[in-house]
Structure 1
């Protein structure tokens, strides 16, 4: 039987007994599983040729590599050892910018996804507004560049920013412990009339992604590399073992 696979990959946390909880599809991706053993070889010492006469297996490993096409926030949380934080929208009335502000430099507000930005100074009594023609705003990034802080002045610093901000999903880096997930693949063999093939790895420890290509001339991908670990929550005499399994469902016409 020849094989050419297509299918969907899902990952999910495990409960206290090792059973999978809700599994989340990772979207378009490729999946490979590499099995390997490390061995110690013994050579005989009688013939003068030092021939190998025994091999002792010292370690068995199963490495999974998911190359993900879709940069959704949940995939990035796995890749970065982070947790998704969902910021709801709101308003800010008087956020102080650094004092002093240097013309031409970029300053970051506390929030992303900003709009309706108004900059005033700290004049006692009635504050002066910095003309909008003298500064620029990058709304998604939440950044401000003041090109001219002299015209219309003098202004009293620090400058104060008032603005609205919209909802934003964020994920921090290295804020969570090493993730251990159940990996489930529901695929078809396109070389054999799309017959189904199912793969389960019971306990996969995901490594942080090695690289995020943020400026590219083609579609960006990133890797979720993991190691299948021995699942001691499964009985040692389980007929499908304690690592994983591959299933060929027998579909009758």
Structure 2
């Protein structure tokens, strides 16, 4: 008498895109769209005489919780520019009272900026005439700066990176999920050879809960895989 083997499944794991750890992923899902063709039975009794089902498309979607620019570049078909720290001298801005006059680069707020009238004098006082943030200078209506005043600001730009969104046509990447079945403790590994993510439908940028965003894309056939019985789309290895 054969033994029935069951294995419950609770999935977790680390998702790698081209070898890069994407951080916390709260969901990964495969969707397989199928297309059926049938030949009706004309010999009496109804039903079909033949039927074939073909795979129309394979989709891989994931929910990411880490808002790194590298992850957002995947979601927004973007590219990343490296930002280096450096001195910016006499950048011209126009004051917006109690509003933001944004600067060309991100300000390193640990280094005090110098804000002057566009003529060079006077020099305005931080937290009295204006406040500074990474995004720029906010002139205070209680200070000496007037609305629409042309200003010059010298500051130190902050190192980091900048995401240029929606400038790429979309890249193909390899996805590996180094997973564990938490119900059994057994490892499993999924490899998707060619994944081409589409732009995300939206991003929640301000909220009162931890953010996440969804990325979905097609799993494309890998024509380099020609061996009989080997999937061109993905493989799952399990202990």
Asked if TM exceeds 0.5, the reply is: yes
Answering whether residue 229 of structure 2 is matched by residue 239 of structure 1, we say: yes
Q: 2:137 aligns with which of 144, 149, 170?
A: 144
Q: Deviations over 1:174-203 (max 9, x none)?
A: 1223121111111122223x1221111111
Q: In the superposition, relative to structure 1, how do residues 72 and 156 fare at CA in structure 2: closer, same or farther (>3 Å)?
A: closer
Aligned residue pairs, count: 229
Q: In the superposition, relative to structure 1, how do residues 171 and 102 fare at CA in structure 2: closer, same or farther (>3 Å)?
A: closer
SS of residue paired to 1:74: helix
Unaligned 5+ segments in structure 2 are 1-6
Matched residues in 2 for 1:238 and 1:27: separation?
35
SS of residue paired to 1:212: coil
Matched residues in 2 for 1:221 and 1:119: separation?
38
Equivalent positions of 1:65-214 (< 5 A) are 65-98=61-94, 101-115=95-109, 116-123=112-119, 127-132=121-126, 133-138=128-133, 140-141=134-135, 143-148=136-141, 151=144, 158-192=150-184, 194-214=185-205
Q: CA deviation at 1:72?
A: 2.0
In structure 1, the residue matched to 2:8 is 2
Q: Deviations over 1:33-66 (max 9, x none)?
A: 122212234444565x863443343543221111
Contact 1:121–1:156 (Cα < 8 Å) also in 2: no
Matched residues in 2 for 1:75 and 1:150: separation?
42
Contact 2:37–2:53 (Cα < 8 Å) also in 1: yes
Matched residues in 1 for 2:183 and 2:141: separation?
66
SS of residue paired to 1:211: coil
In structure 2, the residue matched to 1:19 is none
SS of residue paired to 2:121: coil
Q: Deviations over 1:42-94 (max 9, x none)?
A: 444565x8634433435432211111121222111211111222211111111
Contact 1:103–1:149 (Cα < 8 Å) also in 2: no
Q: Deviations over 1:89-121 (max 9, x none)?
A: 1111111114xx443332110111333222212
Matched residues in 2 for 1:229 and 1:152: separation?
58
Answering whether residue 31 of structure 2 is matched by residue 34 of structure 1, we say: yes
Q: Normalising by structure 1, report the TM-score.
A: 0.80
Contact 2:59–2:216 (Cα < 8 Å) also in 1: yes
SS of residue paired to 1:97: strand
Contact 2:139–2:145 (Cα < 8 Å) also in 1: no
